[in-house]
């Protein structure tokens, strides 16, 4: 092929993205108050964030963050196994483990980092990792980087997952799934997957980024809804950037599993530990998640109000009873046009396009928060009906 200049490669790649309506400029959020954000000097009602319980600016979290910074400083000063593991990290790990009935917890800087760490630490060449096709990118990337064979089953197809596990000849097996799927909002068939994993001697690993805090009693998440615990799901990941309103991720598991990850996972070993102040804020968030059940009740009421209103207006929502409400429009141009029309009406709803979703399934990913008011929901519905009717291409049935 000969030599190639990076400038030429980048220019060609950008031109190709532009031709597919796939450019992704970043917005600058100039200010935020609850679900209200300021973009280019204009206030918008945000319907694409993941602050499901409205805790991201709660005064208890802000105070805990400030006090933690006052006591421990801004950074952790080192990796966790050198000098970066502080008392706030240890307390947060203990709080989460006790809450959900696991032996140990391990706090990471992000869910993406945690999934890379888990896969690379526990899987090796000759092993197999079986995953739902709609799993989040970090689960897929983690498996690819581990050297294990990655097998992907059709979305929600438990029998296909069973067949893929049965086909392995040697090595260890992991069955990994999202608890709630981030782009579709539906829930994984966890009870059935747990039976499959047990029958095939596979380690079941659940990433409950969009379920924890939102679903189940006390917000215990997807596992609680499926009546599962540490015995059925030996390894559970709880990213804290959604319902908990902060940053980081908590890995829960047995002492043997968690210690192995902590001592061998390169993404954990070779990165500076999260700020102790953020761990303090997440401890405050956990208390609110557990005791303020009204937040979940209000959120679910808004979800049902939105779905009823969408049905009355003929808006073809995917079947989801979580705060993630996808409206699939098909091609990129239609999704971008609808997003732009909503912004003109005062609502921030991002257009989600490939590769985040499969080709031909560009969409509006509408997310609801306990901070929204009923009037916000009703206003969005009216704007959606106008935006979709004015889109340049028909909506697929």
- Least Cα distance to 351 among 27, 44, 48 occurs for 48
Q: Out of 110, 182, 285, 334, pick the active-site residue.
A: 182
23 dihedral zone (left: phi>0; alpha: psi -120 to 50; beta): beta
Beta strands, E only, 261-361: 324-330, 347-348, 351-352
Determine whether the annotation assigns residue 86 to a binding site. Answer: no
Spatial separation of the C-alpha atoms in residues 351 and 167, rounded to whole Å: 39
| Residue 391 is a catalytic residue | no
Q: Out of 72, 242, 298, 372, pick the active-site residue.
A: 242
Crossing angle (nearest 10°) for helices 293-312 and 374-389: 30
Beta bridge partners of 327: 317, 364
How many other C-beta atoms lie within 10 A of the C-beta of residue 184?
Answer: 23
| Residue 210 is a catalytic residue | yes
| Residue 340 is a catalytic residue | no
Determine whether the annotation assigns residue 77 to a binding site. Answer: no
Determine whether the annotation assigns residue 111 to a binding site. Answer: yes
Determine whether the annotation assigns residue 182 to a binding site. Answer: yes
The tokens describing 314, both together, are 């003929």
Determine whether the annotation assigns residue 254 to a binding site. Answer: no
Tell me if 44 sits within 8 A of 343, measured CB to CB: yes
- The set of residues, in sequence order, having a beta carbon less than 8 Å from that of 326 and lying 6+ positions away, is 183, 184, 185, 317, 318, 320, 352, 363, 364, 365, 366
Question: Is the bond leading into 355 cis (omega within 30 degrees of zero)?
Answer: yes
Contacts 24+ apart (CB under 8 A), 300-307: 302/368, 302/370, 302/372, 302/374, 302/377, 303/368, 305/374, 305/377, 305/378, 306/366, 306/368, 306/377, 306/380, 306/381
Contacts 24+ apart (CB under 8 A), 197-202: 197/165, 197/232, 198/232, 199/162, 200/162, 200/165, 200/166, 200/173, 200/175, 201/173, 202/130, 202/165, 202/173, 202/174, 202/175
Q: Out of 85, 86, 210, 298, pick the active-site residue.
A: 210
Q: Which residues carry a binding-site annotation?
A: 24, 111-112, 136, 182, 210, 356
Q: Which residues carry a binding-site annotation for substrate?
A: 24, 136, 356
Q: Which residues carry a binding-site annotation for pyridoxal 5'-phosphate?
A: 111-112, 182, 210
Catalytic center residues: 182, 210, 242
């Amino acid at each position: 092929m000969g030599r190639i200049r990076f400038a030429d490669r980048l220019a060609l790649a950008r031109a190709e993205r532009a031709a597919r309506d796939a450019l992704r400029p970043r917005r600058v959020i100039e200010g935020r108050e609850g679900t209200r954000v300021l973009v280019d000097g204009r206030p918008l009602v945000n319907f694409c964030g993941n602050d499901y319980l409205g805790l991201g600016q709660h005064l208890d979290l802000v105070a805990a963050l400030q006090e933690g910074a006052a006591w421990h400083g801004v950074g952790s000063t080192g990796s966790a196994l050198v000098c970066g593991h502080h008392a706030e990290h240890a307390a947060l790990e203990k709080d989460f483990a006790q809450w959900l009935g696991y032996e140990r917890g391990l706090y990471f800087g992000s869910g993406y980092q945690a999934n890379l760490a888990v896969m690379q630490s526990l899987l090796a060449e000759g092993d197999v990792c079986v995953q739902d096709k709609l799993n989040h990118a970090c689960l897929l990337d983690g498996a690819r980087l581990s050297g294990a064979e990655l097998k992907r089953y059709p979305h929600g197809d438990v029998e296909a997952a069973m067949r893929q596990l049965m086909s392995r000849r040697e090595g260890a097996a992991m069955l990994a799934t999202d608890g709630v799927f981030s782009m579709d909002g539906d829930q994984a068939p966890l009870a059935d997957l747990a039976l499959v994993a047990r029958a095939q001697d596979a380690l079941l690993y659940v990433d409950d980024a969009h379920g924890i805090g939102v679903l189940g009693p006390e917000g215990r998440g997807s596992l609680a809804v499926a009546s599962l615990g540490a015995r059925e799901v030996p390894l559970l990941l709880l990213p804290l950037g959604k319902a908990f309103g902060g940053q980081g991720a908590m890995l829960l598991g047995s002492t043997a599993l968690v210690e192995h990850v902590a001592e061998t996972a390169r993404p954990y070993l070779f990165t500076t530990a999260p700020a102790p102040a953020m761990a303090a804020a997440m401890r405050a968030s956990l208390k609110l998640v557990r005791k303020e059940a009204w937040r979940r009740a209000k959120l679910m009421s808004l979800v049902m109000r939105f779905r009823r209103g969408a049905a009355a207006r003929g808006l073809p929502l995917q079947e989801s009873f979580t705060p993630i409400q996808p409206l699939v429009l098909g091609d990129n141009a239609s999704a971008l046009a609808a997003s732009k029309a909503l912004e003109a009406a005062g609502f921030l709803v991002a257009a989600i396009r490939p590769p985040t979703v499969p080709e031909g399934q560009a969409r509006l990913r509408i997310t609801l928060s306990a901070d929204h008011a009923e009037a916000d929901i009703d206003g969005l519905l009216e704007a959606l009906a106008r935006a979709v009717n004015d889109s340049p291409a028909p909506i697929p049935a």
